Amino acid sequence: MPLVGTKEMFKKAYEGGYAIGAFNVNNMEIVQGITDAAAELRAPVILQCSAGARKYANHQYLVHLVKAALEVHPELPVALHLDHGADFETCKSRIDGGFTSVMIDGSHHSFEDNIAVTKKVVEYAHAHGVVVEGELGQLAGVEDDVNVSAEDAKYTHPEEVEEFVSRTGVDSLAIAIGTSHGAFKFTPAQCTLNEDGVLVPPELRFDILDEITKKLPNFPIVLHGASSVVPEYVKIINANGGKLDDAIGIPEDQLRKAARSAVCKINVDSDLRLALTAGIRQHFMEHPEHFDPRQYLTPARANIKAIVEHKIKNVLGCNNAY
């Protein structure tokens, strides 16, 4: 099966009460782990590339890694997506380079300027059979080239979404309802302690999501910054020389609730990084004599597959979706 867009994926996800996982890819092992898990569970998947991934691995390498995965799993529906396209030129180059979906992130602009740049990308993308994700509101946190302080973060205003979508023609909309980029999404001061002494972050703003859903019925919504910062992997990293104190993510039950609503795409990046790093750190502590990359990248890749399987079944709910 060739690379696909996300329109049909999102239509089925909306009707089925599940979300599609959009997993960031940076190297071969990550691509393999994600697609092996998705194929086994018959889950459509979005592989997305950030500016940092393209700088690290090169656009051509990433595209061909994804195409290789399609040769191994020809039945798997895969969309190749640009994550956080900074401007029209970046989106155009990825469209011309074979991506089937792009995100234009104009959220740091004024409302009118965001509409202008998003509309320009939509017109070019649709003329080339590519779908577009826009964004309203700004998430806090740091991830690759995205760096927004808590003070500058802004929730999406529901009263703006109808006008934004109608004037731009975007196919999906990323919103800000309390998720955040990176592994340190919240400070301890923003959280409460439960009876087990575990820090619990503030709940997502489902009231905002509900208002947006009313204004945009049957329209696919996207959540960025939605890693749960899996405590198991944080614990392994810290036990093997790492230092990730106070790493806090989004509770998975809240993400599952979002996936049952209008949210059709949930982005996952930090959890993949944590899984990979946990596998490598643990392997080196147990086998300090090893130096062959195949020795330590094998368990790291297995961790990628395991976390993606978990997300598909327990958070996204998209297993057996094709």
Q: Which two tokens stand for residue 248?
A: 């806090």
Q: State the catalytic residue, choosing from 36, 83, 105, 271.
A: 83
Radius of gyration of the chain (CA): 19
Contact 67, 61 (CB under 8 A): no
Nearest residue to 221 (alpha-carbon basis) of 148, 268, 171: 171
d(CA 208, CA 213): 9
d(CA 266, CA 286): 34
d(CA 318, CA 18): 6
Nearest residue to 238 (alpha-carbon basis) of 285, 308, 192: 285
Nearest residue to 66 (alpha-carbon basis) of 18, 30, 120: 30
d(CA 158, CA 211): 6
Contact 130, 101 (CB under 8 A): yes
83 is known as an active-site residue: yes
- CA 225, 227, 231, 232 torsion: positive or negative? negative
Q: How close are the terminal C-alpha atoms of the chain, in Å?
A: 13
Helices 88-96 and 111-127 meet at what angle, rounded to 10?
20
Measured in whole angstroms, the distance separating CA 288 from the mean position of its chain's CA atoms is 34
Nearest residue to 268 (alpha-carbon basis) of 216, 233, 240: 233
SS3 call for 6: coil
Point out the residues that are catalytic.
Answer: 83
